Structure 1
Amino acid sequence: MLTVITALAPLALAIQLPIQSGSVDFYDPNLNGGSMLNNAGGGLGEPLNVIISGKSSPEVLTNDGIVNYARAIGLSYIISSEECLGIHLGDPQSANLGDGHGWVNQTIELREDYGNEELGTCLESIIGGNHFRVYRQDGPSAMSGALFLAVSREQDVEENHTIVPDGYNIGRDQLVGHAIGKHDFDGVHYKTVAKNITGLLPPGSVGVNHGIATDGLTTLLTVQTTR
């Protein structure tokens, strides 16, 4: 039965059908030619500092599912990847999760919505705030279904959306702080537990975008849903 589920999982993800919860939290990208830094350009990357476990409820691991979950914890989907009230939101970034797909652009990007799903992400673009990019580990070499998030806190538009000092650690901790515990949105109830992991990301600033050092921690979130 597990072999059948594994074979059907890529199709299920492609058409946004929930797949059965995985048997693993995630696979370490570093062990199969991947990286825990994405590609932000110029040979530098942003840390994939939060992982939503493949053992989470299957519906959370779909595109619609992560958007609904994000809204439950205070972030919303950017409808246009290019403009928001005439403000450029930045280019997509790619990541290699060691799953056999190589370098793949982000699946989706979400920004702090300040309590307004429609205009809040535009406000974040103006005044700054938390945001994250989503990458799914679903290739033939590492079919976990886990979502790897590059989380950071940005400065305002006058600072060209650069990351605030210590912004990778701050962004991660803010997102995790909002996520843990119980939340709900659009009739879906979430319960999230968190665990910090060392050894996936080296501490420091080597290879990190903007030269901003990180503490080397990655937080694993396991999200379960009820209706």
Structure 2
Amino acid sequence: MWRTNLLLVLALIPASFCGPVNTLQKRGNVSFADPRTNNGSFLDNAGDGFSEPLNVVISGTSSPAVLTDEGFIGFAGAVGFAPECLGAHLGGPQSADLGDGNGFQNQTFELREDFGNFALGTCIEQLLGGNHLRLFRQNGSLADTGALFLAVSLEMGLLENHTIAENGYDVGRDNLVKKAVGLTSFNGTTYNTTAQNLTGVMPTGNATINHGIAVDGNAVLLIVEIVDTTQPG
């Protein structure tokens, strides 16, 4: 069974993955559209009336290859995230309305901290806890920006039922941003990432927030540029 699950993970990653090739054309010069403009939200739907913050946005002006599923997984590898352990997903999907005309859509996928081992490190995260993210794409007819909205949080391990750590939404966001800003690389592709604060995009406190963990109401916009792509030797 574990071999079958491993194949499912590897199916997300091209053979001899060497990072995205930045040949796609940009959609435009729009970083993202504020979901609240069209009755969306920076809070997703976690079920049972609770929500989790969409606290990191990958700008639609980033290198187009980064905004694809494959390309984002490559960038995620550069900042310490990878597909889930042996393809095994824990918990149900969450959904979000990004105000793009698509209404509520389930997350595209979930990635977890890999502790320096892209192939198997997420097994450690599922057992002991760590950072993880859910990805949602803004691509509806009302706001086809291509921006990626991430729900990032620091969670506890399996014995704690993956509940969110103390201050885990803000801490998870800040940990990801800290690792992302500046030059990073993964399998031959180098990224340069800059950050801008998005203040007050969601309510502060813990009202409706999953696990009763308070948030500071802020998100961070990341602009990710591919600056070099080489074929690994």
TM-score normalised to structure 2 length: 0.85
How far apart, in 2, do the equivalents of 1:94 and 1:141 lie?
A: 18
Match of 1:105 in 2: 106
Deviates more, 1:110-119 or 1:199-208: 199-208
- Given the alignment, which residue of 22, 25, 33 partners 2:28? 22
Q: Structure 1: 5+ residue runs without aligned partners?
A: 1-16
Q: CA deviation at 1:79?
A: 6.2
Give 3-state SS (helix, strand or coil) of 2:164's partner: coil
How far apart, in 1, do the equivalents of 2:24 and 2:40 lie?
A: 25
How far apart, in 1, do the equivalents of 2:40 and 2:70 lie?
A: 26
Query: What does 1:2-21 align with in structure 2 at a 5 Å threshold?
Result: 18-21=24-27
Give 3-state SS (helix, strand or coil) of 1:173's partner: helix
Q: Give the counterpart letter for 2:117 in structure 1.
A: N
Q: Give the counterpart letter for 1:39 in structure 2.
A: N
CA offsets 1:87-109 (integer angstroms, 9 cap, x no match): x6111111110101111110111
Task: Establish whether residue 77 from structure 1 lines up as the match of residue 78 from structure 2.
Answer: no
Give 3-state SS (helix, strand or coil) of 1:125's partner: helix
Q: CA deviation at 1:199?
A: 2.6
Any conservation in 2 of the 1:18–1:62 contact (CA below 8 Å)?
no
Q: CA deviation at 1:80?
A: 5.8
Match of 2:183 in 1: 182
Task: Establish whether residue 55 from structure 1 lines up as the match of residue 61 from structure 2.
Answer: yes
- Given the superposition, is the C-alpha separation of residues 92 and 80 from structure 1 closer, same or farther in structure 2, using an over 3 Å criterion? farther
- Given the superposition, is the C-alpha separation of residues 105 and 79 from structure 1 closer, same or farther in structure 2, using an over 3 Å criterion? farther
Give 3-state SS (helix, strand or coil) of 2:154's partner: strand
How far apart, in 1, do the equivalents of 2:144 and 2:223 lie?
A: 17
Match of 2:6 in 1: none
- Given the superposition, is the C-alpha separation of residues 80 and 31 from structure 1 closer, same or farther in structure 2, using an over 3 Å criterion? farther
How far apart, in 1, do the equivalents of 2:73 and 2:183 lie?
A: 17
Any conservation in 2 of the 1:22–1:145 contact (CA below 8 Å)?
no
Q: Give the counterpart letter for 2:212 in structure 1.
A: G
How far apart, in 1, do the equivalents of 2:213 and 2:175 lie?
A: 17
TM-score normalised to structure 1 length: 0.87
Any conservation in 1 of the 2:46–2:210 contact (CA below 8 Å)?
yes
Task: Establish whether residue 42 from structure 1 lines up as the match of residue 48 from structure 2.
Answer: yes
Percent identical pairs in the alignment equals: 53
Give 3-state SS (helix, strand or coil) of 1:149's partner: strand
- Given the superposition, is the C-alpha separation of residues 80 and 201 from structure 1 closer, same or farther in structure 2, using an over 3 Å criterion? farther
Q: Give the counterpart letter for 2:193 in structure 1.
A: T
Q: CA deviation at 1:161?
A: 0.3
Q: CA deviation at 1:181?
A: 0.5
Task: Establish whether residue 67 from structure 1 lines up as the match of residue 73 from structure 2.
Answer: yes
- Given the superposition, is the C-alpha separation of residues 191 and 21 from structure 1 closer, same or farther in structure 2, using an over 3 Å criterion? farther
CA offsets 1:110-164 (integer angstroms, 9 cap, x no match): 1000111121111100000000000000000011110000000000100000100
Any conservation in 2 of the 1:18–1:61 contact (CA below 8 Å)?
no
Any conservation in 1 of the 2:85–2:126 contact (CA below 8 Å)?
no
Q: How many residues are matched?
A: 206
The list of structure 1 runs, each at least 4 consecutive aligned residues, that deviate by more than 3 angstroms after superposition, is: none
